[in-house]
Amino acid sequence: MAREGATIARMTPRPSDEDYQRLLELRTGLRRFLRWSERQAAAAGLTAAQHQLLLAVRGHPDARGPTVGEVAAYLLLRHHSAVGLVDRAEAAGLLARSQDPDNLSAVRLRLTDNGMRQIEVLSELHLEELAHLAPTMHALWEALEHTSDGEPRSEPHPAARPRGPAGALPPGTHRS
């Protein structure tokens, strides 16, 4: 048990002025992109959460579609919050539920034709915008993967790109 007033040994060196500048640039760029994305969703008649839900369903690697639990993991929501979001999206005609024939206790989600059209248009816009941002974001990610003296980090920085296989599911999810 740690003593009161004891200090914890640093795992990384103190951030440099350049580190703070990079972090500010990264956070500002992410916030601008997210704000832009919210505006694109609103222009399409969707909330940002509905857009993210459609992307989670369309981007899920299992052809049967994701479960509500898997969508909750993608969107970092609690299960009951994801259920409410799915209910509203279903009422708006964006997606449909169906029982998993292999597991009768599981419900799978699939996009309707309307939902598919919406996510296709938004994804085209987002991919184009990301192509414009890629050089800046790549440079920032590279900087996060190295210490302030330019050496590669022995452990990946928590904000660095995941090093796992392409198409890996978010932590805490699994293919069923």
Assigned CATH class of 27-144: mainly alpha
pTM value is 0.75
For residue range 64-78, what is the model confidence (pLDDT) as tens digits?
999 999 999 999 999
Give the separation between CA 87 and CA 135, rounded to whole angstroms: 39
For residue range 136-154, what is the model confidence (pLDDT) as tens digits?
888 877 777 776 667 776 6
pLDDT-derived band at 173 (thresholds 50, 70, 90) equals: very low
Give the separation between CA 47 and CA 114, rounded to whole angstroms: 15
Q: What is the pLDDT of residue 166?
A: 46
What is the DSSP track for 73-138? HHHT--HHHHHHHHHHHHHTTSEEEEEETTEEEEEEEEE-HHHHHHHHHHHHHHHHHHHHHHHHHH
pLDDT-derived band at 22 (thresholds 50, 70, 90) equals: confident
